[in-house]
Structure 1
């Protein structure tokens, strides 16, 4: 029946452009058109509130340039700090230089004589038997050192004995004065003239120091024999002086003291002869000779700065005289 309901005389159906599916989809969409968009709508503001805004980097503000006065003060502070640093380094260098001078040519700090650090006079020598002297020579070298101390002790007792004799006999003033001289003279000279040479000889196996020791120590033995004999008015409390004091009136006590000193002088002389023979036997075992001593002496003289400067001065003076003499 539907077929008969259609109007056969109706014109063809015209197409409606708004019935197009694309247009219909747009018109039926829930998206608001552009002309109806409200940016201040509540829904839009809520959406913006929930949206996270990225943090913007901080912009550094340019700092103000320091004034010339500030620059000058900073430069002055730097100069003062550098000056203090230089002064500190200079003081440290001076201190090290003083330490090196106090240590002497060995490069080690002097330890003899053993004086306290607060004492104004500092030690003059470095001495260490276990470090400087070989094992086979240490015993004899130490015995020489003990002999020197024993000799110094006898010289001091000799002074006391001569003083006691001078108290009992007014004619003993000469002996007392000479005893003071012998104590002041022989104590340092014996250390420098025969103990230090034998110490250096054992330390460095030096033929020159051995020969120097033998030459000086021979006279030391002779002096000890003279002191043990005790010639009157020579400043020695030997045997003759002791018996002379005992024979005088009231001189028994002084004579007894002088006799003790004479015994000590005799013991010191005997010990000196024994040690001289021991050192000589060791010297022969080291292979030292007079030729080596001469060679060491010549090398030591030619390498001495004082000798070099003196020789250079003499050579220059001779050259100037030669040029002036030959116009």
Structure 2
């Protein structure tokens, strides 16, 4: 098992990948640098291999698919994930790794938004989108992660081996952040000096389509991880709609003793019934979710126990080797 593994998902990053690999080899000489090529057509894999990286391939397109392959195949004590576009400084990696190895952090976030991101990034809708995503997640999930969508992170082994990856594309970072918040994993932040892509390097992120995917992911995960709150809000919304529709009917009935619009009254009744069903569905799903949280904690303990046993075996092997 590697002590430190640097994971770099790549799609057509031939202009920058050599520098990225060499920078991480310089800052983390003890680490193994893995470049996972995602169907590049510009020689990214060959350039990375020549620079000294271990190159592997993921043929299902999408960053989420690449990271799922990485997390499944690689065993390490600490994982550093970065992009191959040279926008993240390798010099911050040592501090991030130390927080995982010596401060028991499960996920360390490379925080771009607290430093140079808004000055360096030339795409204003990206800046706006990052602000919206950060605000919505920290409000819905009651946390204070500084940069939700950064692609520069460090992870503990127990995070990597207990994280169920469902996203296929760029929404994977949002899923990571919400998973860490929901499972009460130790999260830390390191402020990094973000730099924009060098000239000639093009972003694969589509501002609008990928932005909507991220927002859809937030709603999906809010429904999954906070079912009682989600369905209670839905129930409250239906009650408000029913109240608005019923108000003129009620006023007319009080004034005249007549009900002028029976179809509207019947619709109000069905909406109220749907609201009641929604609320109780949220209660049932909350109970199921609580059971899943308990199971996750047991899985986490088993993962920690297996790590301890592995460390003991490795220590005995080293002693026997010296003997």
Report the TM-score, using the length of structure 1 for normalisation: 0.22
Structure (1 or 2) with the larger CA radius of gyration: 1
State TM-score, norm by structure 2. Answer: 0.23
More helix by share: 1
> Higher strand proportion, which one?
2
Q: Which has the higher contact order (CA 8 A, sep 6+)?
A: 2
